Structure 1
């Protein structure tokens, strides 16, 4: 999570409750113009789908004199751009009717009054996957709906594993995942064969990828970042169960099975036999590395719990509190996340479905690799913590990973978690 978020959410608290609404203008007599902001460029595959779906919305409701207009405001490399625009709009009370936002930021936007509840308007919530409802809900109310789902898994090079003496038929499945110990044995075999790291776990990341990809190890151990009510980090994040999960990650580093400084595109160029990455890498492999024969396996699990847990969540659509046309704004949110929109986006960018209705269709179309992600998400997906203090919580989690990665320079894992749990607790107390 980037530094700009701290400024964003402080401004949310100051400005969002002013109670002002922005005029949208009329599209002819009694007409309505809805404006939606999205975080991608108009020439991206995702952006093209959004434009296509907005055009379809306008065509469907043309007789009712309603028109939606979409503004493309791409995020910059450090996460700014789009959020900067939202931040500026808060100060001038010029937010659009509908915005996109990242899943774990739902609570902060909702608590600050930037986005409005959708329950009154959205009647097909039973079609939404549990993980989507979980990430879009705050204090029992649905505030946002995911436009797509995602997950993370272990990509592996079939030839490299075979050459190392691994029988691919024995590899783990969602029904029968490997334990951390079994995964360590695989990594040992691959490191000995190739004399290089067995897997890129993307530990070099300094952003949300660390939390998104590594938090499932904590969940698998039976631990968590925050208490169920989201109010406690001390005594939760620094619990012994979290220590167990962090010990597994640190062991991967100590044994040289992974590294903080991987070779760029090491898996894609067949230098490393495995990579931990999201479902989006499927598109990259098919487009840019079509000759690499690869597969996907699920997360390894704690040997004590044997519980498979995987990450979930992505960007969402929500209506703003200042929209003067909430019924139509909610209808647009629902439209941009309905079955047809979900199918269109999933087919364009290899995204996972957010609805049961679209999941039934896509499961028949997906490749074997995509279906591993889909099955893992459907059966084990877990949303990140719902808390207004999420920006600070995820930053502390990322710093904890960084601390234990430099195990030769820092205190032991328990000390690291104690320190970071205090930081989380301080942020939570201030936010509440």
Structure 2
């Protein structure tokens, strides 16, 4: 999950889960009868919400498959609505990119064909990646590369504060954040905004501590919310986190107003442009040293919609198979600053790009947001960010905030 960049020429994906939540759970006029909208048997339509930087990767696979492409880049918030309209008008694209949490909704509607129809089963890929693209036991989408969350830190500020190693536990993180906080700088920053973005950033603290979206009132999740409240009460985390997006957070970091920030690898190009900022990254600490960091799995998957043209669907399947091949995974990782979805390829990417290494580590245990609740995930995500907002605004203690947000 990432938001549009203001500092680079890229226009990466914008979270679309909010749009998905307000739309109907089923599509109309699917049933495998939609048309792709192109007449030529050797032309495939590809639809995504990414910027044109991916187009050369698409063209490489088009050459391998022997087709020409018509590429459509849709604004992120409007993608799901457009897919619904295309399904109704029988004009679905041949290849459709989706944010991985949206696969459940679209697959449930019957608009997608199983990738197994084209011999694609996700062998060798991270299990969480395969699970993210699976609905009702069938694989509908795969990602060539994924992202997750870690913490960027200012090396110069760490040195000045006498901090020699990144924190490993919440206690370490809290102590370091206090030490790094000054009159004009916060020691720690993250987004706790009341959108899915806020939930996304909170998940590593909840999941890493054993909390679950199936019941957000457990002691493990209470502890995670309390940890953020403590950081805010210490003065180490700004109350503005309640309205900051992830891009706002990275802006604070670049401006020297925050020493540590939770964010994703898509920010690496913006950070690399900052000649005056010495930065590094480390995995998000856990409450106990015996726990493992568990962060959410982000990234886009490619699917083959059901259309009336079986021959073109087969070519679309070959195109998707090319996009998720090890060679294309590595190229996608370079373009998007994401982590390849095959472990061996991910390790190779981490070796060639040290800035990506903490994300490579975290991805090994990353979890799909829809893994437990499937299409019901957006409801849980809303409860989570509402609870965090209640607690950080002081309207309720963490346990009560979670109970009120759970609502049952």
Aligned pairs for 1:83-94 within 5 A:
83-94=80-91
Aligned pairs for 1:179-190 within 5 A:
179-190=169-180
Contact 1:146 1:313 (8 Å CA) reproduced: no
Distance in 2 (alpha carbons) for counterparts of 1:403 and 1:323: 49
In structure 2, the residue matched to 1:154 is 151
- 1:327 equivalent to 2:314? Answer yes
In structure 1, the residue matched to 2:44 is 34
Q: Structure 1's 256 and 339: CA in aligned 2 closer, same or farther, altered over 3 A?
A: same
In structure 2, the residue matched to 1:231 is none
Contact 1:132 1:313 (8 Å CA) reproduced: no
- 1:268 equivalent to 2:278? Answer no
Contact 1:110 1:143 (8 Å CA) reproduced: yes
TM-superposed deviation, 1:16: 5.3
In structure 2, the residue matched to 1:427 is none
Give the TM-score of the pair, scaled to structure 1: 0.81
Contact 1:36 1:71 (8 Å CA) reproduced: yes
In structure 2, the residue matched to 1:313 is 298
- 1:144 equivalent to 2:141? Answer yes
Contact 1:58 1:68 (8 Å CA) reproduced: yes
In structure 2, the residue matched to 1:280 is 266
Q: Structure 1's 357 and 165: CA in aligned 2 closer, same or farther, altered over 3 A?
A: closer
Distance in 2 (alpha carbons) for counterparts of 1:321 and 1:419: 42
Distance in 1 (alpha carbons) for counterparts of 2:208 and 2:18: 29
TM-superposed deviation, 1:375: 1.7
- 1:401 equivalent to 2:388? Answer yes
Structure 1 unaligned segments of length 5 or more: list them: 42-46, 173-177, 227-235, 424-432
TM-superposed deviation, 1:258: 0.8
Aligned pairs for 1:32-431 within 5 A:
32-41=42-51, 47-49=52-54, 51-62=55-66, 66-75=67-76, 79-80=77-78, 82-123=79-120, 125-166=122-163, 168=164, 170-172=165-167, 178-191=168-181, 193-194=182-183, 196-203=185-192, 205-226=193-214, 236-261=215-240, 265-287=251-273, 289-303=274-288, 306-322=291-307, 324-325=309-310, 326-367=313-354, 369-378=355-364, 380-386=365-371, 387-407=374-394, 410-422=395-407
**Matched residue of 1:127: which SS?**
coil
Distance in 1 (alpha carbons) for counterparts of 2:27 and 2:337: 39
Contact 1:108 1:390 (8 Å CA) reproduced: no
Contact 1:57 1:68 (8 Å CA) reproduced: no
TM-superposed deviation, 1:414: 2.3
TM-superposed deviation, 1:249: 1.6
Distance in 1 (alpha carbons) for counterparts of 2:166 and 2:26: 49
TM-superposed deviation, 1:358: 2.5
**Matched residue of 2:151: which SS?**
strand
Contact 1:16 1:112 (8 Å CA) reproduced: no
Distance in 2 (alpha carbons) for counterparts of 1:221 and 1:23: 46
TM-superposed deviation, 1:184: 1.0
| Bigger CA radius of gyration | 1
Contact 1:200 1:274 (8 Å CA) reproduced: yes
In structure 1, the residue matched to 2:34 is 21
Contact 2:153 2:259 (8 Å CA) reproduced: yes
Structure 2 unaligned segments of length 5 or more: list them: 1-15
In structure 1, the residue matched to 2:6 is none
Give the TM-score of the pair, scaled to structure 2: 0.86
The superposition leaves residues 246-303 of structure 1 with CA deviations (integer Å, 9 ceiling, x where unpaired) of 111221122221123169522112222111111112111002x122111111111022
Q: Structure 1's 199 and 281: CA in aligned 2 closer, same or farther, altered over 3 A?
A: same
CA RMSD of aligned residues (A): 2.3
Count of residues in Structure 1 that have an aligned counterpart in Structure 2: 382
TM-superposed deviation, 1:197: 2.0
Q: Structure 1's 190 and 134: CA in aligned 2 closer, same or farther, altered over 3 A?
A: same
Distance in 2 (alpha carbons) for counterparts of 1:125 and 1:199: 38
In structure 2, the residue matched to 1:426 is none
TM-superposed deviation, 1:15: 0.9
